Each structure stands twice: as C-alpha cells, then as structure tokens.
Structure 1
Amino acid sequence: MPAVTAGAARPRLFAFRSSLDVALGVVLSCFFVESIIIEAPVVATNPPATVYPTIKESWAFLGWYLLLSLLIGLPILLVGEKMLEMPRPVVLFLGVSAANCSVLGFLRWRNKTRWPGINLHGQVPGWLLLALPVLVLSADMVLTLVHLLHLPTFSSGETYRELMKVPVVGFLMLCIVAPVMEELLLRGVVLQGLLRNFPDRPWIAIGQSALIFGIMHLNPPQSLATFGLGLLMGWLYFRTRSLWLCMGVHFLNNFFAFNAMLHQKEGTATDDVVAAFGSPWAYAAVVVLSALVLFCLLWMVQRTTSSSPGQASTQPDALLPEGI
C-alpha cells in the first residue's frame, strides 16, 4: 500500500476544512433566519372598523325601539291617564316623546365608541327648499295608491281622533316630535351608519332604513306608505346629507295629514281616495300628473347635488354635542 506523503495530504485537509466551513455557514444561516422569524413582531390584520349600525344591528335597533317604547311609554300612559286623570292626548304626547328620547339616549350610550355622528346641515340646493311642498304633495299623492290594495289594518284610527280633540297637542306630536325624533333615529343614526358601512352600495342602506321605518309603524297600510316615504327621504339624505331636509319632508307629510284629519267631516271615510276626486279617471289623472312632477323634481335633485356623496360622507360635517 503506497504511503501518503505530506504534500498529498495537504489538499485533502484544505478540502475538508472548506466543506466544514460551508456546512457551518449553512447551519448559522438557518439559525439566523429562524431567529428573525421568531423575534419579528407579528402584525395583526384586524377587520376594518364599522360604525353603528350594521345590518344585523339595524334589526336589533327595531327591537330596542319597540321594547323601550313599551317599557317607557306604557307606564306613562297608565300613570297619566288612570292615576293623574290627564287628558289622553297629553298623555300620548308625553309617552311618545319620552320613549323616543329614551331610545336615542340609550343607543348613544350603548354605542358611544361607534356612534356614526349626526349630520344636520349637508348641502341643499336653494330651489329644493322652495319646491319641497310640491315634492311632498306629489309623493303623498302617489302613495295614496296603497289604499287601493285594501290591506288589513290593525288600527281603527282612534288614537288620531283622540289627538284631534286637542289640536295643539296633536300638532306638537305629529308635526314636531315625530319628524324630529324619528328622523334623528332613522336617517340621522341608522341610515348614516349604514351608508358609511356600505359606501359603494347605498341602496342597501337606503332600503334597510326605509324597511325599518315602515315596520316601526306596526300597521300594514301605514307601514307600506311609510316605507315608500322612507325610500324618498333616504335618497334625499344620500344626495344632500341634510337631516334638516328630511325633517322638513317628514314635517310637511305629517302636516298635510294633520290638516286633512282636522278638517275631516264627521262620519266620512278617510281611505276612500277615489271618491274624494269624484271619479276613477280624475283620480288616475292626478296620480299620473303627480308621478311626473315627482320624477322631474327628483331628476333635478340628481342633477344639482353631488354625484359621489359617499366620498364626502365618511365624516359628518355637523354633529350633535358629544353627550347627545
């Protein structure tokens, strides 16, 4: 067996050391990379924050509204009417006012970190303020078609007849409290929050808020009509971001109804709208004309308001004070 000389062994030694260096380098590299992976801070990917309400929470809002209206309004009704012997219209006014204020305050407290903010002013074209009575009258005339469906009713209208016995109280309840409080809740909170949660799908927000608005009234004919009115006010809010405008529409709608009830003759039916015009053809002509006027006015609103209101609605430009 040939002997291995020192000169021949040296290249093998260098080759062994080179292989050892490479292996050690690979091990150290793996350890270094592993330490980076282990010690690197983990960045959590949280879902985007939502404001109040979501679609699910809007249904919960309806439940809270009905529950608190019962818990607050019923005791006031019993104490005021049975124990204090106050006039029923006054008791109704106090009960409805207290219930609506309680709902708004409770929701504000419960969702204070996700409160959407209430946008009062927005941007309303001057001509729209002047044309608002015509717009509301046209919409109301179109919505009288609901009476032709002859839907079952859960109300005999006795509550409204009681209110008309004290016209001042009836006016305050129907034309002041209802427009202000219901618009604060439905358009100011529910619709505002849904629009911010669905900036690219505004009709989801408008439709859902109108649906809740209709169901709140708990009477099929009135619910369907208020659903249609809710769609109108929701779209106007979407285009203008003005809660004052929605309150104005709501006020005019209720004022026209209040005035009709106030001057209604004893024993006449309130839902026979065709007979009120003398003939079906006259009624149909008025409805068609009203629909054309309404379409033209809404087309003008579309032309004279922002075409991308979602970009301007991420933060309200007019808020209620922090405690409200």
Structure 2
Amino acid sequence: MIETLPESEIQASINQPAAYPTVKESWGALGWFMLLALVLGFLSIPFLRFTTHAQAIIVTVVASDLAKALIIVFLLWKIPSVRRQPIRLLASREIPLVYLLLPLLVFAQMALRTLVVFLHLPNWMSDSMQKLSAFPGLSFFVICISAPILEELLFRGLLLPGLLKNYSPRKAIIQSSLLFGIIHLNPAQVVSAFLLGLFLGWLYYRTHSLAACIVVHFLNNAVAWKALQNPKWQNVDDPIALLPGGSTLLLMIVIAAVIFAGGTWLIWRATQQSVAMRETSIDSLER
C-alpha cells in the first residue's frame, strides 16, 4: 500500500522557498562582508593616525572582528526565518571517536598544506602578522578564539547548511570553501584556507557538528600562532627554507597523507548511519 500525503502538505512543500543561501546569495553574503570591512576600515583611519603602535593593532583587530560579527548579525536579521537553517553547535548524536581523531587530522592536513608554499604566492599580511605576534595575548585571542568561532558560525553555521539543502554535497562544500578562502584576502592564505575549508565542509557534512569544526579551526590556528611566536619563523623571506629537504620532506608528506586518509575513512565509517538517516529523512520530506 502506497501512502500519499494530504493535498495541503503537498502544496506546502511545492511552495516552500529554497533554503538560504543559493550560490548567488552566498556571493552576496561575501560582498556584504567586504563592504562592512571596507566601511569599518575607513572609519578606523582617524583612530590609527594618532595612536601608539599597540593601540593601532588593537583598533585594527577590533575592526576586523567587528566586521565578522556584524555580517553574522546582519544575515540573521536579513534572512527570512522560513529560509534560514537552524545553527546547531552540537550534532544530534556526537561521536567521541571524531574528536579523538581531530588532532591527528589537523597535523596531517597542515603538513600536506605546506606544499602550498611552493606556489610562491605573495604574502601581503606578513608584516601585520609579525606586528600582531608582538602581543601574545591579543594575537592568541584573535587567531585562536575569535577567528574559529566567528568564521565557523558564518561559513559552516549560516552558509553551508543552506547550500547543502539546495545542492549536492560536493557543490555546497566547494562553494563554501571558495568563499572561506577568498575572505582571507591574502594570496598566501587563500589557497591554504580553501583546502582547509574543504576539510571543514566535509567534516560538517559528515557530522553536522559545528563544535567539531570549531575545534579543528582552533587547533589549526593554535599551531600557526605557536609558529608565529617562534623567532625562527619570523622575518623569513622564503618559507621553503624552513621545510626539511629532499627525502625527509617526501617521507613527511607520505606519512601525513596516510594518516589523513585513514582518519577521514574512520570518520566516514563512524558517521555512515547518521548521514544515511539524514538523507532518508530528506528524501521522505521531498516526496
């Protein structure tokens, strides 16, 4: 016996608007962020002209974080509630194995992303990051606390869930990762951030846990912050010089690739039931 939905429910499902965002709207969100950052940067100029070096760093940091916070608030206000996907910090069923694997996966994917330095992309933020690193407490808060929370809320909390609702997982993850890379604005970070975004997007798709994404982002940035505090990494013209050479580098990449592949496979296997249940639920609603 085939069950049929009442006519009122069928009509409601037909008239239901698309989840926010579409690909076009996700580009619009990036545009709004750029506009906010530009306006706040312009408003910060008078404060920067008559401040000490430390005060100028603080003003710059506040303006950057304020732009991220304001775009989140703006989108939450602007998006109709019927189109907005709920932001969930935790998955309906958290899997401890995922969190146990995250530190290994972070180190593995960071090792793999070191290959990006061979692209010789310009680093426009090198001087700013070195100046910020002179204030360990402030730099730790900006790099390891506010960035993971605000950026994950925006990209994996607000944008990716809607993209996953409207498109295939592959298209949704690539689109959110592309925006995540571009928002960093610095060529030396864009490619690396895009690759990190692919992993974060996949992790969110498999787990539906924003907390897991924040943990990965925190660990990734904490390693970068620690490197910034090391005098060996400061004032380096060519990052390639800091990498091990020849066979040592090749061995490091191979080991990292094996760890990353094994860890992601374990997460994929551990989340199979959860993903299957979500997809079945979505299929039943669409019918």
| 1:155 matches 2:155 | no
The Cα shift of 1:82 comes to 2.4
| 1:95 matches 2:92 | no
CA distance in structure 1 between the partners assigned to 2:223 and 2:234 by the alignment: 20
Structure index of larger Rg: 1
What residue is the counterpart of 1:138 in the other structure?
108
| 1:251 matches 2:221 | no
Alignment TM-score, normalising by the size of structure 1: 0.76
What residue is the counterpart of 2:157 in the other structure?
188
More helix by share: 2
CA distance in structure 2 between the partners assigned to 1:256 and 1:266 by the alignment: 12
Which secondary structure does the structure 2 equivalent of 1:87 belong to?
Answer: helix
CA distance in structure 1 between the partners assigned to 2:164 and 2:12 by the alignment: 27
CA distance in structure 2 between the partners assigned to 1:232 and 1:81 by the alignment: 37
What per-residue deviation string (whole Å, max 9, x for no partner) do you get for residues 5-40 of structure 1? xxxxxxxxxxxxxxxxxxxxxxxxxxxxxxxxxxxx
What per-residue deviation string (whole Å, max 9, x for no partner) do you get for residues 17-72 of structure 1? xxxxxxxxxxxxxxxxxxxxxxxxxx899554212101110111111111111112
| 1:60 matches 2:28 | yes
Which secondary structure does the structure 2 equivalent of 1:282 belong to?
Answer: helix
Conserved? CA contact 1:55–1:194, under 8 Å: yes
Conserved? CA contact 2:227–2:233, under 8 Å: no
Query: Within 5 A, what are the aligned runs for 1:300-319?
Result: 300-305=266-271, 306-308=274-276, 310-311=278-279
Query: Within 5 A, what are the aligned runs for 1:79-118?
Result: 79-83=46-50, 85=52, 87-113=55-81, 114-118=83-87
Query: Within 5 A, what are the aligned runs for 1:1-324?
Result: 47-75=15-43, 77-83=44-50, 85=52, 87-113=55-81, 114-122=83-91, 123-151=93-121, 153=122, 155-198=124-167, 201-265=168-232, 268-269=235-236, 271-273=238-240, 275-305=241-271, 306-308=274-276, 310-311=278-279
The Cα shift of 1:144 comes to 0.8
The Cα shift of 1:89 comes to 2.4
The Cα shift of 1:79 comes to 3.8
Query: Gapped runs of 5+ residues in structure 1?
Result: 1-42, 315-324
CA distance in structure 2 between the partners assigned to 1:44 and 1:247 by the alignment: 36
- After superposition, the CA RMSD in angstroms is 2.2
What residue is the counterpart of 1:23 in the other structure?
none
Which secondary structure does the structure 1 equivalent of 2:124 belong to?
Answer: coil
Count of aligned residue pairs for this structure pair = 267
CA distance in structure 2 between the partners assigned to 1:300 and 1:44 by the alignment: 39
Q: Rate the CA distance shift 1:309–1:103 in 2: closer, same or farther, 3 A.
A: farther
Q: Rate the CA distance shift 1:189–1:46 in 2: closer, same or farther, 3 A.
A: same
Q: Rate the CA distance shift 1:121–1:266 in 2: closer, same or farther, 3 A.
A: closer
Which secondary structure does the structure 2 equivalent of 1:265 belong to?
Answer: helix
The Cα shift of 1:112 comes to 3.3
Alignment TM-score, normalising by the size of structure 2: 0.86
Q: Rate the CA distance shift 1:266–1:174 in 2: closer, same or farther, 3 A.
A: closer
CA distance in structure 2 between the partners assigned to 1:189 and 1:68 by the alignment: 17
Which secondary structure does the structure 1 equivalent of 2:80 belong to?
Answer: coil
Moved more, 126-135 or 246-255: 126-135
Query: Gapped runs of 5+ residues in structure 2?
Result: 1-10, 283-287
